[in-house]
Structure formats: structure tokens, C-alpha cells
A and B are shown apart, each in its own frame.
Chain A
Amino acid sequence: MPEAEAIRLAQQGDAAAFERLYQLHNRRVYSLCLRMVGNTAEAEDLTQEAFLQLFRKVATFRGESAFSTWLHRLSVNVVLMKLRKKSGMETSLEQVTEPDEDSGGPRRDFGAPDLRLSGSIDRVNLQRAVDQLPPGYKSVFVLHDVQGYEHNEIAEIMGCSIGNSKSQLHKARMRLRELLQEVMRSKAREERKAAGSGSGVED
């Protein structure tokens, strides 16, 4: 059943049509959720919630945007809501996308010695670092660098401008760099301790 037909039938309540839409999109939605929250149980719950919201609203879909964009916008919103609740406070969307300098915005550290990341980023460390990003940065990074969306698609999904999407992505990458460097420093310290180094010299 082609997607357009499935949408039309789903709007009339056809069960097979709902199932078809689920088959067409569940992996991509699940993949997005899994990469955003990092565990399968939560990702499955979010996937279910995203599709539930989609199917509740399918009658109002009027084709102004691609169906998949509409679905992924819902999915991102579902994940962002979850992340906001997890942070234990009602975080405004401004905080979600524009953290202030004190809460981890990109720092400019000119001239400081850098640890090179090339060749030392494994997926686990990258996932952990991504998990520490503010929700808005995390969304844009996962959507662009991991899921492969273009900025114009991200702009539509996130309800922001293309310029905003590019700016958020850059800030996300800079912040990831700091987080991953800190991981490397910790690892180096542990290795020195394990090797019995007594100098205690820190980087």
C-alpha cells in the first residue's frame, strides 16, 4: 500500500493503513529516539508515544509538509518533552535550545593545549557525550550528523530557521569536543595512576 493511500485510509480509521504507516516509519523513529535517549526500553516507549500522537492527529494532516517530516517533528517533540521532564524542572524551550554560558555553552579557550580526538572516539563515548548535551543541541546533532537530515528538514522539524539549525549544530559539536576531551583527560589520568606514576601532574 503506498503511503499516500495509507494516510487517506488511516484518516478513515482503517487498521491496516495504520499498520502500514507504522511499518514504513517505525525504524527511523525508533532509531532517532534510541540515539537521543540511549536505552531501548525508553526508546520504545517514546516510539509508541510518537506514533500514538501521530495517529490521534492523522485526521488533521493536510499535506502541507511531507508526512515523514510531520512524524519526525512529533517524534522530536515527544523526545524533548521527555528530556525536559527528566531534567527535573520545567525547562523552557529557550533553555532547551539556547543554554547560557554557565550551563555548558561553548567556551573559547584560545591557545590552551588540545587533546586530539582523531582516532579515539568510540561510539560509547560519543553516545555518553551526546547524552550530556542540552536537549536542543542534542536534537540537532542527532538529526543532522547521525540521522542525516539536512538543515532545511531540521528547520521544519524543529520549527526553527535554517540559520538557527546550523548555529545549534556548530555549538553542539563544539560542546561535544569539550566533553570528549574531558573523557580523554580522565582516561589519561586513570592510565597514569594505573601505571603507578607518582608525579600527579595534571594536564
Chain B
Amino acid sequence: MSTDSTVLSYWSWKKLSTLAPGLLLFGTSAVWAHHVEKHLRVDPHPVITIHNPNGTVTVKAWTKSEVLVMADHNSMNIEVAVVQNGNRVDILTQPIANSVAPDEMRADMQVNVPEDAELQIHDDSGAVTVNNVLGDMNVETVGADVGLEDAAGYLSVKTVGGSFQCTRCAGRIEVSSISGNFKLLDVRSYHIVAQTSTGNILFDGQFLPNGTYHLKNYSGTIEVRFSPGDSFDMNATSLKGKVNNEAKLIPANRPQSSSPRFGNTLFGTLNEGRARVDLTSFDGTINILKRSN
């Protein structure tokens, strides 16, 4: 495997402003002082790690056996280092001066990867977006929101306050947060574990046969949407809050205040009960709603 890397540098804003005005018209709305671009050839199933404390990270799949990194930052006291070691590419935003202010550590980057790439992403604040990547991924943020679209594989996401939205994803999804909200839209996953403390959880996807779906929060709302043809065993418990149900479950849901001893509990089976759904909230509201289509 060979490495083919190209680094391009652009002028700083100061120099750019002296050029013909026409040059200022093209490009994005933000003008960055430093731009890095690197192309690296990789073999199938490369591992891409991205450590970017602050800024947006966008990862997109393409058909080439290459990784393309395009990164922008303003501070001259930091760099976006891109290092290849075999079939692994490490992208790291790091200080290069002794003293760097926190707000200087910002870089925005777009990374194009083969669709079977495995991703490991750490971004404290900003936003992380991943599109069309089918390899396993592990994303950790503090406040950065995470958006996955058309992703598959083993998807593991952990935020402290950042929200999580997963659209048309497949595979296995495990997401946890303290105060982030979750939206799982049009997902086709056989195993979902979603746990947040104060955030809301919305699940509007497919219940696959033998799939398991565990949605849990302390407070906030858990909302699950179903169609009459879906098939699941449902167990929904809110210790101090309400459980609102539109599904015709068998056996019929018991009166909410009776045993088990604690909380408001609903359980039953829809159709053949092929999937398993567990919804738990401490004092939030659980809504099981029929799709209106």
C-alpha cells in the first residue's frame, strides 16, 4: 500500500483581501486563515480516527479507495495533523504552540472515506455528521450534536449534552447521553439501546423480527410510533409519569395503578410479538402512538 498525500496551503485573510475583489466572491461564507487538504490511498476497511475538540466534523462516503481530508482553521497555533499508518488514518487537531487559548482549538473539517470505513470520532463541541458510511463507528462528544444518515454497522454514540439523530440507519445502535435528545427516524435496526437522562426520545422506525429496542430516560418524553402491521412484545413503565397507549395489545393493558407494585406499567403483545420493546422512564411520559398514514 502506498501513501499519496498532497498538502495545499491557502493565503491568510489579510493577503486575500488585497487581491481582486472577484476572488472574494467564490468560496464559502466563512473565510479561513488556514486550509489543509490531504489525499491518502487506503485498502478496504480502513480505520479513520478523528479527534477535533471544537468544530464541525462531516464524514461522507465515496466510491474511491482513498481518504480525503479537508480542514480549515484560523489559529496559527494549532494544526490539523493527518497521519497514515498502514490502513489507519489519524486526524488530530492539536496545539503547536506552548500556550493556546481554548477558542483557538477550533477546526472544521470534511472527510471523505470509503463506505466500509470504521470511524472513531471525538468532538467536544460543534457538530458531527456522518453520511452513507456502512462500517462500525464510535462517536463521543460533550456538547456536539451528532447526525447519522444512511449509516449501518455497530453504531455507538455517547454524548453528555449533544443531541443525536439517526435517519435511515441499520445495524446495531447504542446511544447514551445525560441531557441530549434522540431521534431515531426511519431506522431499520435489529438492536437499539438508547438511554438519556433529561432528553426526549423519539423512535419512528421498523420493528424487525427478533429485534430488541430498549429506550430509557429519567424525565422527558419517550415517543414510539407504530403501524398496525407491526409485531412486538411491549413493556412500558413510568415510575412517576404517565403511559399513553394507542396499540391494541394482547393481553389487554392492565389498569395503570395496579400491580406490579411500582409505577405505571403497560405490557402486552401486538400481532405475533416478534420484536421486543422496553420503554422505561422515571418520571417522564411514554407515548405509544399509531402512525397516521
Chain A residues proximal to chain B, CB less than 8 Å: 60, 62, 90, 92-94, 97, 155, 158-161, 164
Contact = CB atoms under 8 A, between A and B. Distances in A.
Nearest to A164: B86
Interface stretch (B20-28, B50-58, B87-95): B87-95
Interface string B81-109: 10111111010001010000000000000
A159 B86 contact: yes
Say whether chain B's binding surface is mostly helix, strand, loop, or mixed.
Answer: strand
A159 B1 contact: no
Contact of B86 (A62, A92, A158): A158
Contacts of B81: 90, 92
A90 B94 CA distance: 9
Given A159-B88, A161-B1, A93 B83 contact: yes
Given A60-B154, A90-B94, A161-B1, A155 B83 contact: no
B94 A159 contact: no
Given A90-B94, A93-B90, A159 B154 contact: no
A92 B85 CA distance: 10
7 contacts: A90-B81, A90-B94, A93-B83, A93-B84, A93-B90, A159-B87, A159-B88
A160 B42 CA distance: 11
Nearest to A57: B138
A97 B85 CA distance: 9
A90 B96 CA distance: 8
Contacts of A92: 81, 83
A93 B94 contact: no
Given A60-B154, A90-B94, A160 B86 contact: yes
Nearest to A161: B1
Contacts of A160: 85-86
Nearest to A159: B86
B100 to A, nearest CB: 12
B286 to A, nearest CB: 28
Contacts of A94: 83-84
- 9 nearest interchain CB pairs? A159-B86, A160-B86, A93-B83, A159-B88, A93-B85, A159-B85, A161-B1, A92-B83, A94-B83
A153 to B, nearest CB: 13
Identify the interface centre among B1, B86, B154: most chain A CB within 10 Å of its CB: B86
Contacts of A155: 86
Interface string B111-142: 00000000000000000000000001010000
A158 B85 contact: yes
Nearest to A80: B85
Identify the interface centre among A60, A159, A160, A161: most chain B CB within 10 Å of its CB: A159
Interface string B184-223: 0000000000000000000000000000000000000000
Nearest to A165: B86
Contacts of B1: 161
B231 to A, nearest CB: 28
A190 B132 CA distance: 66
A84 to B, nearest CB: 11
Contacts of A158: 85-86
Contacts of B85: 93, 97, 158-160
A93 B92 CA distance: 11
Contacts of A164: 86
Nearest to A94: B83
Contacts of B47: 159
